[in-house]
């Protein structure tokens, strides 16, 4: 919306039809988190087993495949349940707002005017904005302004579940490939390096998606992953488990 009225220029972009980005990027968020978890889980499990006996590639691969299948399934189910709950809440909210608009339209109109007045618009400008928006799509105007919900762009559980499972698998396979294709004495150090590079990339991607500073999420990812790998390596070495 372009206008010379300073009041109208204060209207947030998400309230006048520029929103929906969060729903559109939901699967990407799930993919980044899945890849991050896959890298940490894969490197942690394989390093933990290799620390006990780096020559036993069969045991390393067996533990890795088991961890991959369990982790990918858990990630997919977790995302599906979580996003399904979110979608259920959004659909319930839409149904309630539709009911209120049918039975108390005047009250809903004044409520939306108050929302825009709370954002800095004058009474007259707020009324003009509400009248024009509700003339186009009343329900959509109320959902966007009051709750930030876009009824045509609801979160999709299956998209998030599939993205999470696939990206988890990809991240996990980095660790398995590092162990499989490296010489015995290089398996652990190469896996650590590959994992840290992967965590650097997922941290950077997360920062790009959120629009935040890149240093903090990258550092958080790298340090957290390093701690997880050190923990599994240390426990295995401490207990001296033989895999025979």
In angstroms, rounded to a whole number, what is the distance separating the alpha carbons of residues 142 and 150?
10
pLDDT at 65 over 70: yes
- Comparison of pLDDT for 14 and 53, the residue scoring more: 53
pLDDT at 132 over 70: yes
The one-character DSSP state at 9 is: G
SS3 115: helix
3-state percent helix, strand, coil for the chain, nearest multiple of 5: 80, 0, 20
How many C-beta atoms surround the C-beta of residue 124 within 10 A?
9
* pLDDT attached to residue 24: 54
* pLDDT attached to residue 152: 66
* pLDDT attached to residue 77: 93
Is there a contact between 94 and 139 (Cβ–Cβ < 8 Å)? Answer: yes
Is there a contact between 7 and 122 (Cβ–Cβ < 8 Å)? Answer: yes
pLDDT at 244 over 70: no
- Angstrom CA distances, 101 to 28, 90, 140, 144, stand at 34, 16, 11, 14
The pair phi, psi for residue 147, each rounded to 5°, is: -125, -5
Alpha helices in 53-156 (DSSP H): 57-103, 105-118, 123-142
* CA diameter of the chain: 80
Between helix 57-103 and helix 123-142 the angle, nearest 10°, is: 120
pLDDT tens digit sequence for 139-181: 777 777 777 777 666 777 888 899 899 999 999 999 999 999 9
pLDDT tens digit sequence for 11-31: 333 333 333 455 556 777 788
pLDDT tens digit sequence for 84-130: 888 888 888 888 878 877 888 888 788 888 888 888 888 888 788 77
Please state whether the predicted TM-score (pTM) of the whole model is above 0.75: no
Residue of 103, 96, 89 whose CA lies nearest to 142: 96
Q: Estimate to the nearest angstrom the gap between the alpha carbon of 32 and the chain centroid.
A: 6
Residue of 107, 97, 78, 84 whose CA lies nearest to 148: 97
Mean pLDDT of 213-222: 89
End-to-end CA distance of the chain: 70
**Average pLDDT, whole number, for the chain?**
81
- Comparison of pLDDT for 32 and 7, the residue scoring more: 32
* pLDDT attached to residue 224: 92
* pLDDT attached to residue 151: 67
In angstroms, rounded to a whole number, what is the distance separating the alpha carbons of residues 68 and 118?
50
Mean pLDDT of 217-243: 84
């Amino acid at each position: 919306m372009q206008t010379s009225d300073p009041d109208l220029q204060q209207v947030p972009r998400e309230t006048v039809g520029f929103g929906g980005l969060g729903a559109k990027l939901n699967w990407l968020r799930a993919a980044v988190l899945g890849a991050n978890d896959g890298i940490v889980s894969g490197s942690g499990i394989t390093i933990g087993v290799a620390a006990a006996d780096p020559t036993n590639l069969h045991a390393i691969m067996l533990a890795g495949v088991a961890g991959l299948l369990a982790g990918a399934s858990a990630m997919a189910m977790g995302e599906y349940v979580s996003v399904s709950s979110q979608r259920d809440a959004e659909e319930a909210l839409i149904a309630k707002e539709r009911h209120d608009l049918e039975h108390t339209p005047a009250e809903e109109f004044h409520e939306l005017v108050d929302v825009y007045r709370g954002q800095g618009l004058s009474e007259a400008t707020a009324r003009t904005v509400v009248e024009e928006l509700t003339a186009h799509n009343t329900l959509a105007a109320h959902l966007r302004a009051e709750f930030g919900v876009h009824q045509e762009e609801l979160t999709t559980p299956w998209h998030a579940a599939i993205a999470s499972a696939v990206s988890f698998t990809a991240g996990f396979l980095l660790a398995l490939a590092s162990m499989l294709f490296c010489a015995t004495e290089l398996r652990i150090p190469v896996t650590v390096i590959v994992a840290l590079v992967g965590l650097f990339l997922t941290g950077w991607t997360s920062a790009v998606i959120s629009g935040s500073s890149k240093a903090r999420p990258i550092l958080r990812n790298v340090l957290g992953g390093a701690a997880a790998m050190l923990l599994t390596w240390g426990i295995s070495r401490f207990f001296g488990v033989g895999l025979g």
